[in-house]
Amino acid sequence: MSEHKEKTDNKITTYMERSLHAYLKTYFCPDRSRHELKIGRYVADACDGQTIFEIQTGNFSPLVKKIKFYLENTDLDVVVVRPIAQNRRIFWLDAASGELNKPSRPSPRHENIACGIADLFYVRELLGEKRLSFCFVLMDVNEVRLLDGYGKDKKKRATSLDRLAGEIYSLTYINSLDDVRDILFPLLPDSPFSRDELAKCLKLGGLKLWSAQKLLVETGLLSSERDGKRLVFEKR
């Protein structure tokens, strides 16, 4: 997530920061004077003196160089926090009237722990580092969008103004491939199984399914082979 930041000595003043991002920083590091701290050539979202916290709402690939720097140049633990929107409610703001329309029902889009684990494909080389953990926060998320999109209802490709934290249900920490195995293998069918079965059991599709498949195969948690035109997998 991009944010506008102004440098002031060894701290950063943040403008237009998403509410969800700010909430999670405070959740993990309540002392706000420890937010946006410069560590070496990077700025950490928060650091309580023992642990660096990085809040990441997208995929993890932009963090690889930053995490490596922290691990190689400090003795601090590093926790990468990723919110997982189990339930999402969308509020629509009409710019003309200023009216905020409340949703009649939750969004049909739901995320699960597999969504977050799929993104570990982009940092798979770092899994198992002793001082590095990935924390997946299963929670409700409320999103405010502007009615400025396409279509009769102006909702297609509408501008997202903010995301706000709702109820937090659980925190899941992953430190190694063993943790990935322990979480995902109980969800998978008996071997062998197809890509369609993998998608169904993990409730993933598109890029998330591709990322999860690549993570599991390239790290050796699953083996894959062709059975005619069909790709099949086995647990290892």
What residues have CB less than 8 Å from 103, skipping those under 6 apart? 89, 90, 91, 92
Q: Which helix (H) or strand (E) holds 4?
A: strand 4-8
Q: Both tokens of residue 161?
A: 């103004």
d(CA 70, CA 54) in angstroms, rounded, equals 11
Q: Where are the domains of the chain?
A: 4-175, 187-236
What is the DSSP pairing of strand 77-93 with strand 51-55?
parallel
What is the per-residue DSSP string for 172-188? Answer: EEE-SHHHHHHHHGGGS
d(CA 72, CA 70) in angstroms, rounded, equals 6
Cα torsion angle, 27, 2, 123, 236, sign: positive
CATH no. for 187-236: 1.10.10.10
Predicted local distance difference test score (pLDDT) of residue 155: 83
Predicted local distance difference test score (pLDDT) of residue 17: 59
What residues have CB less than 8 Å from 132, skipping those under 6 apart? 67, 71, 77, 78, 79, 80, 126, 175
Closest CA to 230 of 197, 189, 203: 197
Given a contact cutoff of 8 angstroms between Cβ atoms, the answer to whether 142 and 164 are in contact is yes
Q: What is the pLDDT along the chain (236 residues), one digit of tens a residue?
A: 334 343 334 333 333 458 999 999 999 999 999 999 999 999 999 999 999 999 998 889 999 999 999 999 999 999 999 999 999 999 999 888 888 888 767 777 889 999 999 999 999 999 999 999 999 999 999 999 898 888 888 888 888 889 999 999 999 999 999 999 999 999 999 989 999 999 999 999 999 999 999 999 999 999 999 888 889 999 99
Predicted local distance difference test score (pLDDT) of residue 10: 37
